[in-house]
Amino acid sequence: MTRARAFAEAFMPWAGLVIGLIAAGFVHQFGSEGTFDHCGTLAPVPAVIVAVVGLVVTLAGGVLSWRSGRTSDGPRRVISTVSVGMALLFAFAIILPVIAASLIPSCFQ
């Protein structure tokens, strides 16, 4: 087994947690910086597009974790279960600002 394959095998149960955290952080930072720095110019469309991409990436990480946990027992299954739950939580955290960006007018005008 090569090193890259061994790393991928060890990372799979953690994928939902790590990838979801990075995606949720990126989506939050993009929306926050865009809203506070360029409130008048940032329409909700770019924020929604970035959020949808982040949501897809987060759910893909959760699916990778879920698939790796089905075939194993013990601690690896527990880690993958927690990772899938965290991916769903991050997905929820991404969905709420999308709803807010769609409903609240930019700059509260």
pLDDT of residue 104: 72
pTM of the model: 0.83
What digits encode the pLDDT tens for the residues 86-100? 999 999 999 988 887
Nearest-CA neighbor of 66 among 6, 10, 2, 13?
Answer: 13
| Better pLDDT: 55 or 108 | 55
User: Does the CA dihedral 48-50-56-59 come out positive or negative?
Assistant: negative
Q: Buried b vs exposed e over 10-42: b needs ≥16 C-beta within 10 Å?
A: eebbbbbbebbeebbebbeebbeebbeeeeeeb
> Each residue of 32-57: pLDDT tens digit?
776 666 666 666 778 889 999 999 99
Q: Where are the domains of the chain?
A: 14-104
How sure is the predictor about 74, in pLDDT bands with cuts at 50, 70 and 90?
confident
